[in-house]
Amino acid sequence: MRAEDITGLILAGGRGSRMGGVDKGMQMLKGHTLVQHTMSRLGPQVGSMLINANRHLAEYAALGLPVVTDTQADFSGPLAGFMAGMRACQTPWMLTVPCDSPLFPLDLAERLGQAIEAEQADLAAPVTLEDGHARVQPVFCLLRTSLQPSLAKYMAEGGRKIEHWLQQHRHALVQFHAPADSKAFFNANTLAELKTLEP
């Protein structure tokens, strides 16, 4: 899969309730905002990028990327961000990445893309090992943009779980177990967790 065929979607549209209701993408880490960290890691892996946000739209737009908002302002979860991205996406593939995981793998698109090709799948997501248990990380999802009608239907019926929707399609699960990957999917849900990433 060629990087040019993938649009990276940065998910920054959540409520951030565990962080006190702040806009997570705009929180600072090592002198840059979380959304800037995400842009620098994702940019080299994809042909273009979009930001999904529901607040501080002018600040996000100032980063130079198109900003897409959820159509309904009811914070119905990450899949609402997937929908907003798929509507705007102009490439056959889209890779979603949350803005609160600034250590995600630099070869995420490559490894998910390889699995999709090997398994002729329509979606792929990473699997990590946590305390010996496999854990799917479905918010990091490489998916075929043409699945948009399927997602629209799933959400119209009240579905909100990424993993549940993913299972309706041919999907590849890609193990990220190497020591180098062990902290890669760390996500900062609280200010205390964010602080642990500072040197």
Q: Is 52 annotated as a binding residue?
A: yes
How many of the chain's residues bind ligand GTP (CB under 6 A)? 22
Kindly state the smallest distance separating residue 170's Cβ from Mg ion, in Å.
27
When CB distances are held under 5 to 8 angstroms depending on the partner's kind, the choice from ligand GTP, Mg ion, none that residue 146 binds is none
Q: Which of 11, 89, 116, 121 binds ligand GTP (CB under 6 A)?
A: 11
Q: Which of 189, 196, 197, 199 binds Mg ion (CB under 5 A)?
A: 189
Kindly state the smallest distance separating residue 148's Cβ from ligand GTP, in Å.
15
Relative to beta strand 123-130, strand 141-144 is: antiparallel
Given the complex with ligand GTP, which of 18 and 144 has the nearer CB atom? 18
- What is the CB-side half-sphere exposure of residue 89 using CA atoms within 13 A? 31
Q: Which residues pair with 95 in a beta bridge?
A: 8, 142
> Quick check: 14 binds ligand GTP (CB under 6 A)?
yes
Relative to beta strand 171-175, strand 28-29 is: unpaired
Given the complex with ligand GTP, which of 1 and 77 has the nearer CB atom? 77
Relative to beta strand 93-98, strand 141-144 is: antiparallel
Per CB under 6 A, contacts with ligand GTP among 86-145 are 98-100, 139
CA distances from 187 to 59, 94, 154, 162 (A): 22, 21, 26, 17
Helical (H) or strand (E) element with 193: helix 191-195
Kindly state the smallest distance separating residue 2's Cβ from ligand GTP, in Å.
26
